[in-house]
Amino acid sequence: MVTLETLVRKFLYEPHKFFKYRDLNGNPLNKEFAFDNYENYLEEYLGFFRKVSSLKDVVSYACCGVFEVVRNNQVFLIRHNHQEYFRGSNGSYRGLPLEDGKSVVRLVHSRLGEIKTVEKFDDLYNLIKECSEAKLQFGQLSIYDATVRIGAFLGIKPDFVYIHTGVKAGVTILEEKGYTKEQLSNRDYAPLKDFPVEMHKMTEISAENFSCKSKDEFKVLPLKSMIYNDNPADL
What digits encode the pLDDT tens for the residues 8-43? 999 999 999 999 999 999 899 999 999 999 999 999
10 assigned to some structural domain: no
- Whether 45 and 134 map to the same domain: the answer is yes
- Domain end among 134, 154, 174: 154
7 assigned to some structural domain: no
- Whether 146 and 175 map to the same domain: the answer is no
What's residue 136's pLDDT? 67
**What is the average pLDDT value for the chain, to the nearest integer?**
93
- Domain end among 106, 126, 154: 154
- Domain end among 154, 179, 207: 154
- Whether 27 and 136 map to the same domain: the answer is yes
- Whether 170 and 80 map to the same domain: the answer is no
- Whether 81 and 101 map to the same domain: the answer is yes
- Whether 20 and 122 map to the same domain: the answer is yes
Lowest average pLDDT, out of 46-60, 79-93, 173-187, 204-218, goes to 79-93
- Whether 23 and 136 map to the same domain: the answer is yes
What's residue 234's pLDDT? 43
- Whether 110 and 170 map to the same domain: the answer is no
- Whether 23 and 107 map to the same domain: the answer is yes
What's residue 133's pLDDT? 86
Query: Binning pLDDT at 50, 70 and 90, where does residue 232 land?
Result: very low
- Higher confidence at residue 133 or residue 88? 133
**Count of domains observed in the chain:** 2
Lowest average pLDDT, out of 50-59, 126-135, 151-160, goes to 126-135
Q: What percent of the chain stands above pLDDT 90? A: 85
Nearest Cα residue to 212 out of 152, 144, 157, 164: 164
pTM of this structure: 0.93
- Host domain of residue 79: 15-85+93-154
In this model, does residue 206 exceed pLDDT 70?
yes
Q: 108-154, pLDDT tens digit by residue?
A: 999 999 999 999 999 999 999 999 987 668 999 999 999 999 999 99
CA distances from 156 to 67, 101, 184, 207 (A): 19, 22, 24, 17
- Whether 127 and 164 map to the same domain: the answer is no
